[in-house]
Structure 1
Amino acid sequence: MSELRTLLSGLVVGESPRWHDGRLWFANWGAEEIVAITEDGAAEVVGKGPKPAGYSIDWLPDGRMLITGHDRLLRVEPDGSVVTHADLSALPDGWNELVVHDNGAIYVNSIAFSFGEEEFRPGVIAVVKPDGTVRQVAENVAFPNGMVITPDGSTLVVAESWAGTLTAFDIEPGGGLSNRRVWAPYGGDGLTIDAEGAIWASDMAGDKPLVRRIREGGEVLEEIGLDEACFACMLGGDDGRTLFLMVAEWRGIERMGELFQATTGRILSTRVSVPRAGRP
């Protein structure tokens, strides 16, 4: 693995990184921006975030971008207009991460409480089918965070940040989730998966911020120690072997308001040996 380098600084909190169409796209929480950047550091604000924080992005198979809003899933049309893709208001609020299956099914999760303002409540995962129907497919998820779908499309893995586990589900033909199990006994925030089925998971829970590459069952294959909290990670680049890390200074839940008023956010990158696969 090569040394870490800073690709971009001056962000508030970079989240939901996605490699798409030759650039790294991400949400700049606090600034309410969606930004895209090339590997050589040319950045462009490409859209507005729907809320100060807690929104994520991904793409439908036809290339239209999706964004999680307050109580709905939003879609960006080719002319740049933003419309409602699915109404999520019948399910618990707090929509956070999403990931789109190759078949067009969309998995979106909600933490189901106002982080930093309310007592913890377990969250949910919903599926939005290509026909627009919405249904809950998992419950009692302890602060659902990053999600990935394995390269063969058969399994969804979600970071249960407050349970300290990566949790797997089988993806059923109709879009449901079954056979819930612990994929690895490690917590996480953002996740990205590679061609060997290993997951890179950012972890803010311990004494030292780090990112781990983990095999199913819990074997840690690689580990990167960091000086700042890593909120999310993504494999990308032209060959899929660049690991992007979204870092910022974390001051704890009790000082979370300061997080979204500072500009300590950065994107770090490093080279790895196994390329990206699966979704997102």
Structure 2
Amino acid sequence: MKDTIQFFSSIIVLIFVNSCKAQTTSLVAENAKLVQIANEYSFTEGPASDQEGNVYFTDQPNDKIIKWNSSNNSLSVFKEPSGRANGLYFDHNGRLLAAADENNEIWRIDENGKVDTLITNFENKKLNGPNDLWVDLKGGIYFTDPYYQRSYWDRTTAELTNKNVYYILPNSNTVFIAATNLVQPNGIIGTPDGKTLYVADIGDQKTYAYTVTENGNLTDRKLFTTMGSDGMTIDNKGNIYLTGNGVTIFNSKGEKIHHIPINEEWTANVTFGGKNQDILFITAKGSIYTLQMNVTGVRYTY
């Protein structure tokens, strides 16, 4: 009986290990290699893909937004100066949203680079420093607002007591606090059905999953993993990608399933781009990397 139990236990372990291996190896395309496509920047951040698969990212110290053209793998300056933009995301009308850190604002930028400032303060107090954004199915905008002291600011303290996640109602400039009780909220990404929002609290080394309510509030906070993150993305299998020490991938249950090492001191952010949304686009220190994947992004699939 004991031998039989040990036999079946071994089979179960073997199946589990092989299943994990299969899931891990299926994420990255066969024989794919990490490619450094540029290393000429100071600190790259905030990658966001448009509907054609081009990726826009920021070089915050140099006050630029750069465009990567997915058709020919070329790079060009999209906007300079850029309001010291940090995180980026496209709205449903193809306009680029930017967490404009210089004056602690949220910008909406059209294809010609014209800026419409959406938010400049909260309850007549300057925002801490909008960092990252995500747009829900209705067009509402969630953004994180940590506080990182900048050399180009006149102030040295925050006007707001808390570091929150905010929500801008669709087609308006009305903003309210969607989630609080965070140390330093940073990366943010939602599921394609709009029902779950992940928020990384890098100051507390935790990432949470929230339920998104009909009015935009975030409820039912659950600990997703005991790892914070600078930036985040999600693939079509529901896996969550966190950054910092390379890129660490978790399944929807919060289990670590893969790690992509990056030979840089810090990996800031990550998204999917390319015409088929199957190229992982990684910003790390002064560099940009790409990796061909078997999974895809979800930004333009709903």
Give the TM-score range, shorter chain. Answer: 0.7 to 0.9
After superposition, the C-alpha distances for 1:83-123 in whole angstroms (9 at most, x for unaligned) are: 2223334354221111111211000111045269669x751
**2:274 matched residue in structure 1:** 237
**2:135 matched residue in structure 1:** 100
SS in 1 for 2:86: coil
Distance 1:89 1:269, change over 3 A: same
Quote the Cα distance in structure 1 between the aligned partners of 2:187 and 2:87. Answer: 10
Quote the Cα distance in structure 1 between the aligned partners of 2:80 and 2:275. Answer: 26
Quote the Cα distance in structure 1 between the aligned partners of 2:149 and 2:76. Answer: 30
Q: Which runs of 4+ in 1 moved over 6 A?
A: 115-119
Q: 1:201, CA displacement in angstroms?
A: 0.9
Correspondent of 2:287 among 266, 273, 278 = 266
Correspondent of 2:169 among 113, 129, 133 = 129
Quote the Cα distance in structure 2 between the aligned partners of 1:49 and 1:105. Answer: 26
Amino acid at match of 1:147: I
SS in 2 for 1:230: coil
Gaps of 5+ in 2: 1-27
Distance 1:11 1:78, change over 3 A: closer
Amino acid at match of 1:12: S
SS in 1 for 2:267: strand
Q: 1:226, CA displacement in angstroms?
A: 2.1
Q: 1:187, CA displacement in angstroms?
A: 1.8
After superposition, the C-alpha distances for 1:59-82 in whole angstroms (9 at most, x for unaligned) are: 221222222232332222455321
Amino acid at match of 1:44: S
Gaps of 5+ in 1: 204-208, 249-264
1:41 aligns with 2:79: no
Q: 1:49, CA displacement in angstroms?
A: 4.6
SS in 2 for 1:63: coil
Please say if residues 95 and 109 of structure 1, whose CA atoms lie closer than 8 Å, have aligned partners that are also in contact: yes
Please say if residues 78 and 113 of structure 2, whose CA atoms lie closer than 8 Å, have aligned partners that are also in contact: no
After superposition, the C-alpha distances for 1:217-238 in whole angstroms (9 at most, x for unaligned) are: 3311111122211111111212
1:184 aligns with 2:225: yes
More strand by share: 1
SS in 1 for 2:181: strand
SS in 2 for 1:30: helix
Equivalent residues in 2 for 1:1-280, closer than 5 Å: 1=28, 2-20=32-50, 21-39=52-70, 40-52=72-84, 55-69=86-100, 70-77=103-110, 79-90=112-123, 92-112=127-147, 114=149, 123-130=163-170, 131-203=172-244, 209-228=245-264, 229-248=266-285, 265-278=286-299
Q: 1:278, CA displacement in angstroms?
A: 4.5
Please say if residues 26 and 36 of structure 1, whose CA atoms lie closer than 8 Å, have aligned partners that are also in contact: yes
Structure with bigger gyration radius? 2
Amino acid at match of 1:243: L
Q: 1:269, CA displacement in angstroms?
A: 1.0
Please say if residues 150 and 279 of structure 1, whose CA atoms lie closer than 8 Å, have aligned partners that are also in contact: no
Amino acid at match of 2:138: N
Please say if residues 99 and 279 of structure 1, whose CA atoms lie closer than 8 Å, have aligned partners that are also in contact: no
Amino acid at match of 1:128: I
Quote the Cα distance in structure 1 between the aligned partners of 2:81 and 2:222. Answer: 34
More helix by share: 2
TM-score, structure 2 length as denominator?
0.78
Distance 1:138 1:226, change over 3 A: same
Please say if residues 33 and 48 of structure 1, whose CA atoms lie closer than 8 Å, have aligned partners that are also in contact: yes
Distance 1:25 1:157, change over 3 A: same
Quote the Cα distance in structure 2 between the aligned partners of 1:25 and 1:79. Answer: 14
Quote the Cα distance in structure 2 between the aligned partners of 1:79 and 1:239. Answer: 25
Distance 1:81 1:226, change over 3 A: closer
Amino acid at match of 2:291: T
- Report % sequence identity: 24
Amino acid at match of 1:200: Y
Q: 1:173, CA displacement in angstroms?
A: 0.6
| Count of matched residue positions in the alignment of Structure 1 and Structure 2 | 257
